[in-house]
Amino acid sequence: MKPIKVDPYKYLYASARVRMLRNRVVTAGKLYQMIDAHNLRQAFRVLNTAGIGVGEKPENYEVALIRELASVYATVREISGGLPLFDAFRYGYDGLNLKIMLKSQAAGYDPLPVMTDFGTVPKRELVQAMARKEIPGLPFEMVRAVGEAKSALSGYHDPQKADILIDKATLSAMLRTVYEYDNAFFQKVVRARIDIENIRAVVRIKRSERGKDLSFLSGVLHHGGTIGCDKWVYVFRGGMRDIADFLGYTRYAALAPAIDHLTYFEKLCDNIMLEFIGEAYRVVFGAEPVLGYLFEKENEITMVRMVMASKMANIPAQTIMERLREYA
C-alpha cells in the first residue's frame, strides 16, 4: 500500500504555534535556578514562571507535571489534526499500561492507580476491555503480545519475558505506523530508538550473569533498526572491547567509550535521542517541529521531576547537578 502523504503546508500554523509555545519551556537557566533554590517552595516558584503548577502547592508538583503533559498531548493532537502518525509515540504508554495490568492481574491488585492516561486508549477503557478479554483500539502487534505475555506469566511465571514481549510489540507497532506515512524524519526517529534499545540490551546482557547467553539476546533484540540483529549477535560473541570497537564505526560512536560506565552510558543513550529535538526544529514547517516540541516537553518534565524530587528529599545542589543528564 502506498504511504500516506504528509503535506508540510498543512502544518504552517502548527509549526508557528510550537515555536511560540517553546517560549514557555523550562530552559536550562530556569532548571539551574531550581537546583540552586534554597528549598522546594522556591524551586516551585521558578517552575511557576514557566506557567507550570500555578496555584498548586509545591508538594503537589507531580500533579502539576501530569497536568502539563496532558495539556501538551492535547495541544499536539489539536494542531496535528489528530494525525495517527503522532499516536506512534504514545504506544509506549499503552505498553506500560499493559505490563501493569498483566502483573496486577497475576498478583491480584487494582492496576488503575499506577496506570497512565497518556496512551492511545484511556486506562479505564483498557482495564474494562481486558476484563472482557478483548482490547479494541490498540495496534494488532500489542494485542497479540498480550496473549503471549499472559502465557509467560501464568505458565512460566516469567515477568521479564512478559515485559520483553510487550516492549517488542510496542516498537514493532511504532515502526509499522510511521512507515504508513511518507515522513522520513519520523521513520528515522523510530529506527534510532530501536538501535538504542538494541545497544542497551547488548551492553546490559553482556555485563550481566547472562553474558554468554546468545539465545536470550536473540529473544530481546528488536528488528527494524539501522543495524541488523545478526550484526549484534555476531558482535556479542566477542568481549566488551569488541562491542565498543563496533560502535565506533556506527553513528552511535559516542557510546563506545562509555560502555564500562553504565550510568554515563545510559545518559548518553538518552542524549542521542534528544538530538532529534534540534533536527526537528531545523525544518521550517511541517510535522517535524510538532514532534520536536513533544520530545522537548517530555524531556523538560523528566528533568523537572528529577529536580523537584531531589529538592523534596533535601539533596544538595551539587549532587543534583551530578545526577542530571545533559539538558537539551
Please report which confidence band the pLDDT of residue 281 belongs to, taking 50, 70 and 90 as the band edges: very high
- Assess whether 177 and 208 both reside in one domain: no
What pLDDT does 129 receive? 87
- The count of structural domains within the chain is 3
* Domain contains 226: yes
Q: Do residues 232 and 221 touch, judged by C-beta distance below 8 A?
A: yes
What CA–CA distance (Å, rounded) separates 97 from 111? 8
Closest of 288, 118, 305 to residue 189, by C-alpha: 288
Bridge partners (DSSP) listed for residue 4: 181
Tell me the residue type at 2: K
Task: Classify residue 75: in a domain, yes or no.
Answer: no
Closest CA to 90 of 77, 81, 103, 101: 77
Q: Is the pLDDT confidence value at 328 over 50?
A: no
Report the range out of 31-35, 57-61, 168-172 with the highest average pLDDT.
168-172
230 confidence band (pLDDT: 50, 70, 90)? very high
The answer to whether residues 173 and 165 touch, using CB atoms and an 8 Å cutoff, is: no
State the DSSP code for 327. Answer: P
pLDDT score of 198: 98
Q: Please indicate, yes or no, whether residues 94 and 135 belong to a single structural domain of this protein.
A: yes
Angle between helices 91-107 and 140-155 (to 10 degrees): 30
* pLDDT tens figures, 205-219: 998 877 778 899 999
Is pLDDT above 60 for 271?
A: yes
Tell me the C-alpha distance between 175 and 91, whole Å.
11
**Of 181, 202, 236, which closes a domain?**
181
**Averaged pLDDT, 233-243:** 93
Are both 268 and 216 inside the same structural domain? yes
Rounded CA-CA distance 273/259 in Å is 17
Check whether residue 186 and residue 175 sit in a common domain. no
Q: Which amino acid is at 261?
A: H
Supply the DSSP string of 133-182, one letter for each residue.
T--TTS-HHHHHHHHHHHHHHHHS--HHHHHHHHHHHHHHHHHHHHTTB-
pLDDT of residue 325: 55
Q: What is the pLDDT of residue 19?
A: 93
Residue 239 phi/psi, 5-degree rounding, is -105, -175
Which tens digits make up the pLDDT trace of 304-324?
A: 999 999 999 999 988 888 777
Residue at grid coordinates 492507580: 113
Evaluate whether residue 82 is within a structural domain.
no
- Looking at 145, 165, 181, the residue that finishes a domain is 181
pLDDT exceeds cutoff 70 at 326: no
pLDDT tens across 118-173, in order? 999 999 999 998 877 778 889 999 999 999 998 888 877 788 999 999 999 999 99
Domain of 38?
Answer: 7-63+289-328
In a domain, 157, yes or no: yes
Mean pLDDT (whole number) for 83-106 = 93
User: Are 255 and 249 within 8 A, CB to CB?
Assistant: no
pLDDT bracket for residue 263 (50, 70, 90): confident
Q: Read off the pTM.
A: 0.92
Mean pLDDT of 35-61: 93
74 CB burial (10 A radius; 0-12, 13-18, 19+): exposed
Give residue 27's identity as a one-letter amino acid code.
T
Q: Over range 235-239, report the average pLDDT.
A: 92
Task: Let me know if residue 77 belongs to a domain.
Answer: no
For residue range 95-122, what is the model confidence (pLDDT) as tens digits? 999 999 999 988 888 999 999 999 999 9
Q: What is the mean pLDDT of residues 289-309?
A: 95
Residue 92 has pLDDT above 50, yes or no: yes
User: By percentage, how much of the chain surpasses pLDDT 90?
Assistant: 77
Contact between 250 and 236 under an 8 Å Cβ cutoff? The reply is no
Residue at a domain's end among 162, 181, 200 = 181
- SS3 of 4, please? strand
Same domain, 256 and 305: no
> Residue 70's closest CA among 37, 112, 110, 118?
118
Average of per-residue pLDDT values in the chain = 92
State mean pLDDT over 284-304.
Answer: 95
- For residue 99, what pLDDT is reported? 95
Q: Could you write out the DSSP letters of every residue in 180-229? A: TB--HHHHHHHHHHHHHHHHHHHHHHHHSTTTT-HHHHHHHPPSSSSS-H
Q: Is residue 70 part of a domain?
A: no
By percentage, how much of the chain surpasses pLDDT 70?
A: 99
Here the cell at position 228 is 541488523
